[in-house]
Structure 1
Amino acid sequence: MPDLLLELFSEEIPARMQAQAADALKKLVTDALVERGLLYEGAKAFVTPRRLALAVHGLPGRQADQREEKKGPRVGAPEQAVAGFLKAAGLASLDQATIQSDPKKGDFYVAVVEKPGRATTEVVAEIVPDIIRKFPWPKSMRWGSGTLRWVRPLHSIVATFGAEGDEPEVVHFSVDGIEASNVTRGHRFMAPEPFTVKRLDDWMAKLEAAKVVADRDRRKEIILNDAKDLALAAGLELVEDEGLLDEVCGLVEWPVVLMGSFEARFLDIPDEVIRATIRANQKCFVLKDPKTGRLANRFILISNLVASDGGAAIVAGNERVIRARLSDAKFFWDTDRLNGLASRMPKFQSITFHEKLGSQAERIERIVRLAKELAPKVGAPVALAEDAAVVAKADLLTEVVGEFPELQGLMGRYYAQGENLPPEVAAACEEHYKPQGPNDRVPTAPVSVAVALADKIDTLVGFWAIDEKPTGSKDPYALRRAALGVIRIVLENELRLRLTDWIFASNDMHFDRWFKSNQLDTFKAYRRMYELLEDIERGDLSKDLLKKRNMVHFGNEYETVASLLAFFADRLKVYLRDRGARHDLVDAVFALEGQDDLLLVVRRVEALAGFLATEDGKNLLAGYRRAVNILRIEEKKDGRAFAGPTVAALLKEPAEEHLAAAIDDVKARVSKAVAAEDFEAAMTALSDLRQPVDAFFDAVTVNDADPALRENRLKLLDEIRAATRGIADFDRIEG
């Protein structure tokens, strides 16, 4: 079957856009072909800095013929209806229609429209120009007098179609004056002359001869393998960097790997700064000395041509730029170490963190207070947690971090080590930002944990209080990441913390700032609080007023806490779902009051999942649902709830007596097991309800004719619900 080859040749496409553009071209073209009935066997997209291409294999030569019946008006219908039918069906007169009979609707006209399939080349010539004009580049430009917008000036289009062994035909169309043809060009400098191509294999072979490697993955493979070989020959190791590899692959069509060097004196700079400098400014790879584990004073660069001097001039040019950039980096590094981290702290007073959340200095003060309170709970010395929280953000004002923001935290660690601060403080400077993502490691040192939790909780509570919550896909303050960070730190360190306590504590700190800065008027919910505090100062505060003060403290505080806990529950569901847990079980546990100890929530969810996987668990869940369904129906019918203790004297049947006794026993055992945090024992106790529940429904009529018996039995069903609530809200369990 024939194949389609499409190439769009232009000026340089930015490396960051190439992979996405290749995927988009493949999807847009193949989707359009399939929509028009042209199914294919396979498709592959290609992209280089100067061309975007697609090969579609196994296309039919033309569309299949189509036969369609169009139903028209009834025989004898008004002329206007008949005329509309003839026009829509493309008929000259009713003689070209047939008449069909319907037992209910009578006789009506039917037009049989036969539409012959078009040649695939015609279809391609129709869809490709529209795709090119509407191509979804993140940024595009219009040049010259034309109307076409493309990422960079588009020079030529190749479009051929044909079967292997045949001479393919050119698919004729034009876009903004650019005519499709079978002519392309190779490397800009080494093979600039035009040449003709046929199909994919011919195109790739001729491009290779013209010093262009069209396959992106093959260019990456060449770069990586040649770089490793060159490093090995020098007795060094390549520091691999997948992101940089992707980028340089998009900068070259004919990759040539070269090695350069810089003065050994620059190795006094931290390895990360050297790497960031060389990577950011020259897109080069760094090399490591396997004997020392430190960077070597060599680097790998990727050229886009084979130079006549073996690349000596290219290497020298890169060395010159890297030497200048490393000189800057060394100056920054030396300057930053002249003054201690603590000397930078006053500058934070003039730096705004957020207009509604105050300065960076105020934020640091809150983090310090919260870290001191958290320290005993996570096993950290209070004094060290305080010291670490004070200087943790100080490196944000250093020259190196100003130049390379991605090194924040890490540079704080280096500067703290240089000042001989305690190792725990230095580690916290770096680790309090972690985890930055799902694959980032979690801090485990107690001081780091205290500062990291304080930092993230302050962020979450502050932005929640000013109603800057994530919406849809928008999360400008990375609050989802902060919440997931808290969850991972707590769970992976097996910490016992009640989130509510720390949300309230952080709330209090934010409230103190708003009150002291007279910003309460911007928060209507705090106005009454202001009045109550005046009553406190006058000594007019009674016990009743104190209770009222606690209820209005921080305005909508309780609603804020509930909302933030729900957010944590959602993040925890995502975290556990990625590890195979059921989201509905997380909902079922969180629905109970006071479930803000994340570690216990997870242990309860795990125990509940194990229980529901057993026959006892499945059958008890079925019995629970039967009981709850009956209860709901009868409560709706009577307009009241059937809650409260059952009357022992009204337990007439042995099965209901047995169930009542079993419920009392199970509730006591579950309560004791939950208090001891032995959730396996709680599930074992709950499983003992299965047999009495089954026996009850087999032997007892709930809706007895005697109203007193009926009410007592409905209350017994409610007791089943109450017994399971010691574990989770079974109403939220699916399946």
Structure 2
Amino acid sequence: MAELLIELFMEEIPARMQVRAADDFKRLVTDKLAAAGIAFTKAEAHSTPRRLALVVDGVPTAQADVREEKKGPRVGSPEQALAGFLKGAGLASIDQAEQRDTGKGVFYFAVIEKKGGATVDALPAIIDAAIRELPWPKSMRWGANDFRWVRPLHSIIALFDGAVVPGSLNLGAKTIAYGNETQGHRFLSPGAFSVTGFADYKAKLEAAHVVLDREARKRLILDGAQKAAVAEGFRLKDDPGLLEEVAGLVEYPVVLTGAIDDKFMDVPAEVLTTSMRTHQRYFALETTDGKLAPRFVVVANRTTADGGKAVVAGNERVLRARLSDAKFFWDQDLKVKLEDRLPGLKDITFHAKLGTLHQRVERMAALSKSIAQALGYSASEIEQAEIAAWLAKADLTTGVVGEFPEVQGIMGRYVAYHEGLPAPVAEAIADHYKPLGPSDRVPTDKVSVAVALAEKIDTLVAFFGIDEKPTGSRDPFALRRAALGVIRLVVENGLRVKLAAIFAASENLLKNKNPYSLEYSKIENHLKTNRGRMVDLYDEKDLEAAADGLKHFEEQVAVNVPSLLPFFFDRLKVSLKEKGVRHDLIDAVLALGGEDDLVRLLARVDALAAFVATEDGANLLAAAKRASNILRIEEKKDGKSYSEPVDASRLDQPEEKALADALIAAGKQATALVEAEDFTGAMAAFAALRAPLDAFFDKVTVNAEDKELRANRLRLLSQIRDTLALIADFSKIEG
């Protein structure tokens, strides 16, 4: 067995592309090896800023012999069919084929044996194809070459069993021959060197100041940063995303510490860390109480004779310039109140069909008030929710957010505190975007919850209203994320709200506050006050156009918003399935319809899941399915439903009488428990049906010869289905 080593050496690869590219290259090469019938034991991919490397172990030096059989036409077939078979099988005459009796006649078979060739002969084409097929998010051409690649490609190592694979890559204007040479660190170890295999390759790279293993680079960076923080008397702020990115920027990490000027420390910590992280890739340090420390960690790509002093000084100088801008914007932004910024939102378009941001916050404020009222908030909490919604988007007009969009909402909170606004209002301004993802924090403060719900529901209703629903993988307005955000806000806070009612309230606001209706109202009022003396600004065509636009918008909203609740339930199922909840149990509860209280819906699902996991639940489920199947078949055959009440006078056998009595008792008990939302208790009441159901199916013939008796027994089966439907549609449950 031999080893295959490939390295693609180039100019610096963008950090975000490296891991994916290494994995893609590994997949392409190994898939092509497998397609060529070349086995291997394992493959390992590596990436640094200037190289992708792949080592494949356990590769045979020769391909295995292949024996292939091809079935041909029946003996005695026309000459044309025989000729086609011979050509496809590579046979000179039909005498070279075997005749076999397959039991369905005698057919010709061609047995083709191919001797396995040397593996190295197949490698040039495999390597060339893998390189050309490697997908890059962005690529370029350089020089006079017509070959596209992420960055200029300089050399290719291709070693098999210690020898160079004969081959080359044609770039167009030039050709890169496969070889055994690479280069070390650009500054610390310039110059080429040759390698004989992966172990030699890795060792010589390390000697040439290149840490090949990405995870090893990450450990070096993290350990160095943590030690540097402790040495300064602080702790490192956890930032896995930044660690991942920085590991893709350096081949030989050297951790250094710099200082932040004290004059910048009154700027919000989020602004400082965003500037350091996003623009400079610096790690922030914290004090023991979690506040931003006046120090940062920078990871250089080389050692220097002065121990990094010049590097630190240069980075501190760049940071001062960056933070000077942030401080200037911060100082200027504090001079303008959030409420005074609201007129500026009229100049920002939210969406061409949905008007301006000012119209959006107007809807959000009204919806926040409605949600707060529905949740039973106090008068002051309702007022605070409305105020917070009005001010939630005001910081989008600040200079800080213009320079650092990542701090929108957070900036508004700081300005709100500076103005002396109540804490719930300030926190709601910051939290109204949350949660942004499955791992993001869910707001729990009452005012924040109302505003966050209003923001997301307005987004959903608005974009569904203009038919911008997600399709497949396309979701440009992040509506799936918004729906999951609403679900988490409701479920994790235990909110007892009816989604359909909130959607309806949002829909009404959308109709009343959409750009068409506002324009229509403006024109209509103008006409009323200027009847008989039309001005140039408006004429009858303007009025007609506005009226048509409003009519079209209202019709569109009416068509698209009803599909929002099913969309929500789809997202709920996705969310629950990720937590291990069975999809069929969710479907069984949702099949009943009319349930838009998520807390109550999930309580039903939990009770059902616990019940079907018991012996009584499993047996009742089997009996319920049997009843449902019989009823479905007979109703289809008879072309009628048997949903009428059971005629007690026609209950003939003791077992059917006992079942009828048990259904009545269980139904009454379960109805009361369901109304009290004791779904676990209701399931326990159903457990009492197990014995009479077993006895019924054991002793009673449903399809009796007496038509009236048969119909009554089918009605009894229908009553089983209806009774269990107090909790769920048992026919949807699998197993």
**Pairwise same-fold verdict (TM > 0.5):** yes
Q: 1:342 aligns with which of 324, 339, 355?
A: 339
Q: 1:369 aligns with which of 366, 370, 382?
A: 366
Q: 1:196 aligns with which of 188, 194, 197?
A: 194
Q: State the 1:685 CA deviation.
A: 1.5
**Alignment CA distance shift 1:97-1:579 (3 Å):** closer
Contact preservation (8 Å) 2:589, 2:729: yes
1:591 aligned onto 2:588: no
SS of 1:58's partner is strand
Contact preservation (8 Å) 1:569, 1:587: no
2:226 corresponding residue in structure 1: 228
Contact preservation (8 Å) 2:345, 2:357: yes
Q: State the 1:623 CA deviation.
A: 1.1
Q: Distance between the aligned counterparts of 2:303 and 2:352, measured in 1? A: 55
Q: Distance between the aligned counterparts of 1:272 and 1:518, measured in 2? A: 40
Q: State the 1:580 CA deviation.
A: 2.2
Q: State the 1:77 CA deviation.
A: 4.7
Residue identity matched to 1:517: L
SS of 2:59's partner is coil
Residue identity matched to 1:126: A
1:543 corresponding residue in structure 2: none
Which has the higher mean CA deviation after the structures are superposed, 559-568 or 21-30?
559-568
Q: What are the superposed Cα offsets for residues 632-657 of structure 1, whole Å, 9 maximum, x if unpaired?
A: 11111111111211212211111111
Matches within 5 A, 1:402-413: 402-413=402-413
**Alignment CA distance shift 1:74-1:686 (3 Å):** closer
Contact preservation (8 Å) 1:508, 1:554: no
2:3 corresponding residue in structure 1: 3
2:705 corresponding residue in structure 1: 705
2:253 corresponding residue in structure 1: 255
Residue identity matched to 2:328: F
Residue identity matched to 1:516: S
SS of 1:113's partner is strand
Q: State the 1:597 CA deviation.
A: 0.6
2:167 corresponding residue in structure 1: 173
1:530 corresponding residue in structure 2: none
Residue identity matched to 1:282: Q
2:35 corresponding residue in structure 1: 35
Equivalenced residue count is 697
2:647 corresponding residue in structure 1: 647
Contact preservation (8 Å) 1:465, 1:560: yes
What are the ranges of 5 or more consecutive residues in structure 1 without an aligned counterpart?
163-167, 521-551
RMSD after superposition = 2.0
Seq. identity, %: 55
2:182 corresponding residue in structure 1: 184
**Alignment CA distance shift 1:77-1:667 (3 Å):** closer
Q: State the 1:714 CA deviation.
A: 0.9
SS of 2:469's partner is coil
2:273 corresponding residue in structure 1: 275
Residue identity matched to 2:119: T
Residue identity matched to 1:716: L
Q: State the 1:448 CA deviation.
A: 0.7
Matches within 5 A, 1:5-154: 5-74=5-74, 77-101=77-101, 104-106=104-106, 108-154=107-153
Q: What are the superposed Cα offsets for residues 396-451 of structure 1, whole Å, 9 maximum, x if unpaired?
A: 11111111111111111111111110011011011111111111111111111111
SS of 2:297's partner is strand
2:418 corresponding residue in structure 1: 418
Q: Distance between the aligned counterparts of 1:495 and 1:621, measured in 2? A: 31
Q: State the 1:116 CA deviation.
A: 1.0
Contact preservation (8 Å) 1:507, 1:554: no
Q: What are the superposed Cα offsets for residues 287-330 of structure 1, whole Å, 9 maximum, x if unpaired?
A: 2233x642232222121122223222222221111110010010
Q: What are the superposed Cα offsets for residues 514-548 of structure 1, whole Å, 9 maximum, x if unpaired?
A: 4733679xxxxxxxxxxxxxxxxxxxxxxxxxxxx
Q: State the 1:670 CA deviation.
A: 1.4
Q: Distance between the aligned counterparts of 1:671 and 1:95, measured in 2? A: 81
Matches within 5 A, 1:114-513: 114-162=113-161, 168-176=162-170, 177-290=175-288, 293-378=290-375, 379=377, 381-513=381-513
Q: State the 1:335 CA deviation.
A: 0.7
Residue identity matched to 2:647: V
Contact preservation (8 Å) 1:500, 1:561: no
Contact preservation (8 Å) 2:467, 2:560: no
SS of 1:4's partner is strand
SS of 1:437's partner is coil
Which has the higher mean CA deviation after the structures are superposed, 312-321 or 327-336?
312-321
SS of 2:294's partner is strand
**Alignment CA distance shift 1:562-1:728 (3 Å):** farther
Q: State the 1:100 CA deviation.
A: 4.2
Which has the higher mean CA deviation after the structures are superposed, 273-282 or 302-311?
302-311
Contact preservation (8 Å) 1:207, 1:214: yes
Q: State the 1:578 CA deviation.
A: 2.3
Contact preservation (8 Å) 2:653, 2:700: yes
Residue identity matched to 2:48: T
Residue identity matched to 1:127: I
Q: State the 1:484 CA deviation.
A: 1.1
SS of 2:320's partner is helix
2:517 corresponding residue in structure 1: 516
2:533 corresponding residue in structure 1: none
Q: Distance between the aligned counterparts of 1:485 and 1:101, measured in 2? A: 66
SS of 1:8's partner is strand
Contact preservation (8 Å) 1:631, 1:714: yes
SS of 1:85's partner is helix
**Alignment CA distance shift 1:610-1:561 (3 Å):** farther
Q: Distance between the aligned counterparts of 2:553 and 2:274, measured in 1? A: 48
Q: State the 1:365 CA deviation.
A: 0.9
**Alignment CA distance shift 1:97-1:627 (3 Å):** closer
**Alignment CA distance shift 1:314-1:109 (3 Å):** same
Q: State the 1:17 CA deviation.
A: 0.4
Residue identity matched to 1:175: L
SS of 1:141's partner is coil
Contact preservation (8 Å) 2:465, 2:561: no
**Alignment CA distance shift 1:420-1:104 (3 Å):** closer
TM-score (norm 2): 0.91
What are the ranges of 5 or more consecutive residues in structure 2 without an aligned counterpart?
522-551
**Alignment CA distance shift 1:81-1:653 (3 Å):** closer
Q: State the 1:91 CA deviation.
A: 3.0
